[in-house]
Amino acid sequence: MTAFVVRRLFRLVVVCVGVSLVTFAILHASGDPVSLIMPEAPEADRAVLRQALGLHDPLIVQFARFVGRAAGGDFGNSFFHRTPAFGLVMERMPTTLTLTLLSMALAIVVALPVGIYGAVRRGRAVDQVATGAVFLGQSMPVFWTGIMLILLFSVQWRLLPVSGWDSWTSVVLPTLTLGAFTAPLLLRIVRSSMLEVIGLDYVRTARAKGVAEWLVIGRHALKNAALPLVTVTGLQFGLLLGGAVITETVFAIPGVGRLIVGAIRQLDFPVVQAGVFMLAMIVVSVNFTVDVLYVYLNPRIRLR
């Protein structure tokens, strides 16, 4: 078990370094932030600012300096806010994580019972409606869903606010937007996994012994059908974080996603690098947790 955890932690570090390298390379190929900070200044003044920001050094030197500082939690100061980039990101991280967790919880609460019922009552009306909802939900982009919800609930019916993150009512539409993006896929995974499991011998044996149906489904079938669900949930968490970037922009939510979008427009390298690095850390940490859950759900993995 220890070797299993160590291998996964090593992969976590490699992925984070790789993400940082790719982000660093793309940012420095996007343009010169000094031209945005001092658009009308003489070139001599711009050269002085580049020297002060460390942008005159070779890229390999800049990246080595970035990695060394990032290891100690220092991502440098924002070019425009003049404050530590890490502090700006962590100030807005709770909002992004709250939106992502609420959306994931909503998707699971909807997908789990509907998917189980659809598998147990295959071909019934509820199953057919759920199957149609899967195709409909997976065909709608996040930004389109958000705009449609705003037009319907905010503009037409005036029930919920258009934007912001200052009350529970302003949380509803963003959560529905991301939840509607994730729930159809989870529903399909739950349904297909349960269909495979409920036809196996040990499930039929439990029913033949007179075990209550809810115990057969919940104790025998669901645990063995949970492996694909755990995998997809872990992967979808990363996609939800990516979707939060778009959702926060649509609903003007002061989260990390909106901060990164603004920093990209301004070529604010430290903020983008800090934001992307922290989001990558969260994603790989969730994947690490999924790997550990696999060992619990299927002990045979431990032997491999």
Instruction: Map tokens 């996994």 to a residue.
Output: 193
Tell me whether residue 73 is in a domain.
Answer: no
In one-letter notation, the amino acid at residue 25 is: A
* Residue-range definition of the domain harbouring residue 236: 85-303
Tell me whether residue 70 is in a domain.
Answer: no
Burial 166-203 (b: 16+ CB within 10 A, else e): eeeebbbbbbbbbbbbbbbbbbbbbbebbeebbeeeeb
Provide DSSP, 7-31: HHHHHHHHHHHHHHHHHHHHHHTT-
The token pair at 140 is 């709608």
Tell me whether residue 241 is in a domain.
Answer: yes
Query: What is the pTM (predicted TM-score) of this model?
Result: 0.87
Tell me whether residue 194 is in a domain.
Answer: yes
Residue 17: CB partners within 8 Å, gap ≥ 6?
A: 67
Instruction: Map tokens 């968490």 to a residue.
Output: 237
C-alpha to C-alpha distance for 304 and 300, rounded to whole angstroms? 7
DSSP 8-state symbol, 178: H
Tell me whether residue 46 is in a domain.
Answer: no
CATH number at residue 299: 1.10.3720.10
Tell me whether residue 136 is in a domain.
Answer: yes
Tell me whether residue 55 is in a domain.
Answer: no
Per-residue pLDDT of the chain in tens (304 residues, 90 and over written 9): 677 778 878 888 888 889 989 999 998 888 889 888 888 788 888 888 888 888 888 889 999 888 888 888 899 899 988 899 999 999 999 999 999 999 999 999 999 998 898 888 887 887 788 778 777 877 888 889 999 999 999 999 999 999 889 889 999 999 999 998 888 889 989 999 998 888 888 888 888 888 887 888 887 788 788 888 888 888 888 888 888 888 998 999 999 999 998 999 999 999 999 999 999 999 888 888 887 777 776 666 654 5
Nearest Cα to 237, choosing from 90, 134, 95, 104?
104
Tell me whether residue 41 is in a domain.
Answer: no
In the chain, the number of structural domains is 1
In one-letter notation, the amino acid at residue 186 is: L
